[in-house]
Amino acid sequence: MEYDFVVIGSGSGGSIIASRLSENPNNSVLLLEGGPDYQNFDEIPEDIKLGYATGTHLAIYEHHDWGHTGLVGDYDEAKDREIRLPRGKITGGSSSINGQIFLRGLTHDFELWNQKGLNQWKYEDVLPYFNKLENDLDFSDDFHGSDGPILAQRFPESEWTEPQKLFYDACIKEGYPVAKDLNLPDATGVGAFPCNNYQGIRMSTAIGYLSDARHRLNLTIRSNCYVTKLLVNNQQIQGVDVESNGEQFRVYGNKVILSAGTISSPHILLLSGIGPEDELKKHDIQQTVNLPGVGKNLRDHPMNYVKMGVKDITKLDTSKPMLQVGLRYSSSAAPEMPDDMILYMNSYASEGDYRDILFDRDKNHNSELTGIQIAVLLYLATSQGSVSLKSSDPHDKPNITLNLLKSEIDVKRMAEGIRKADEIMHSSELSNFVTQRQSPSDEILSDEKKFHSWLRRSTLTGNHMTSSCSMGIKSNEMAVVDQNCKVYGIDNLYIADASVMPDAVRANTNVTTMMVAERVSEIVSKL
């Protein structure tokens, strides 16, 4: 079996790559997915088809999740805390299970990329690809797309739940500006989240892109296929080894695009002898290319909560949207990092569903509907984690260490964010809705040392992992791919997923991943 293009992973990046490359009828394209593929809209399970916009929460089930776990950190307060790291195992990947917050990275983010020497990824370079992928139903101007595959819109204020409205009013009272559109280039302040959910349907890349592409005779989609190794000969990609239903296959491709995600892309590279020399030797893997940065520089958005009880539990309607409004602002602890924080109100706080799953190894969290909570997410976290091999067996999941809040500046910014969320919870706007604070306790908040220790013990992933195969210029020894997202040292091998971002952007990472895929599909089709 030989193809012009072999795409590994049909997630937020891979589905776009396969769809765009197959637009040319002269290209033969194979798309490999480790999970199931629901070929017809009616076959898609309800919890995948519907999302936060209908109150169903993050859909994490064994057959739609890769089952990864990771250590929160390698330092004292976190080294024994193992949490689940949900990653979508289905066509559409994590775009089929995420919260559908459709935020782009800011101009500041791409200016930082430019400062790292990535002068082909400035904001003006990437804007056309952001516009290309979306159909924004609320705004039509130079900063928004109107005919892309992914529908995006915002909940009108008339549809906001009471907690969302109170959160918005409290932020305005605090003096934050109104953000009419959080996807404008330098949007800051409080406003409605753009969401890729249309009429209750989660607009994943499987629905937005593959639905229209899968009929093409030159596109082959194979589900339940697990890639175990890349085939490389004389620094040239040849193809991939694949397992499916207990059988092993070898597939050849002129170009291979790795879109397996921030965890699996470095894992596949390492298993194929592409990575740090010492790690490959440790597991008796023959080195193909010495790339020290593979699996390193893992970034995320650390997240924590302020949780409050409510006076009337019946007002917490779990059939209503959970996420509608967000506040993006700059912390005083790091003035050189503008818009480095985001807060949003969860309209109801339940330790069932998502958080119960995420903390299935943390028995301190119960499973009752208890109140409301404000989530605090830290952008531009300076702490770095890693993805490394557990063994040379491709069936052994990799070791993942996040190192959330390992650096002091990250702790200080998160502490400031929690105190800001607590101020909002205790504002006059919310006084008739909430009762006592449930977490963190007064004892913790009154003692800075205890507070910082609590943050390191309780902070969790924002599910926005990036940068484990970072893009960089050739002189950067930790760079894995160049500006074309081609892997250094291997001809015709590319990566198109969140792992290539030099840092996690100041936004949910899904849309920026889609942008990367749109751009890479154009690049590889021309080379």
Could you report the per-residue pLDDT of 477-497, keeping only the tens digit for each?
999 999 999 999 999 999 999
Q: Evaluate the CA torsion angle 483, 488, 493, 494 in order and state its sign.
A: negative
pTM of the predicted model, to two decimals? 0.95
In this structure, are residues 477 and 489 in contact, taking their beta carbons and an 8 Å threshold? no
Both tokens of residue 24?
């040319």
Give residue 348's pLDDT. 78
Coil, helix or strand at residue 527: coil
Residue with tokens 């004292």: 76
Alpha carbon separation from 355 to 35, 77, 128 (Å, rounded)? 23, 20, 36
State pLDDT tens for residues 286-332.
999 999 999 999 999 999 999 999 999 888 877 788 889 999 999 99
Which residues, including other chains, have CB under 8 Å from residue 122's CB and lie 6 or more apart? 110, 111, 113, 114
Give residue 365's pLDDT. 42
Give me the sheet containing 434-439, strands edge to edge: 189-192, 325-329, 341-350, 369-378, 303-310, 434-439
Give residue 350's pLDDT. 61
Which residues, including other chains, have CB under 8 Å from residue 309's CB and lie 6 or more apart? 370, 371, 434, 435, 436, 437, 438
State pLDDT tens for residues 412-424.
999 999 999 999 9
Both tokens of residue 463?
């599910």
| Residues recorded for the chain | 527
In this structure, are residues 318 and 369 in contact, taking their beta carbons and an 8 Å threshold? yes
Which residues, including other chains, have CB under 8 Å from residue 248's CB and lie 6 or more apart? 228, 241, 242
CB atoms within 10 A of CB 130: 22
**Separation CA 10–CA 372 (nearest Å):** 35
Residue ranges of domains in the chain, CATH in brackets: 2-67+87-104+202-297+466-526 (3.50.50.60), 156-192+303-380+405-458 (3.30.410.40)
CB atoms within 10 A of CB 394: 18
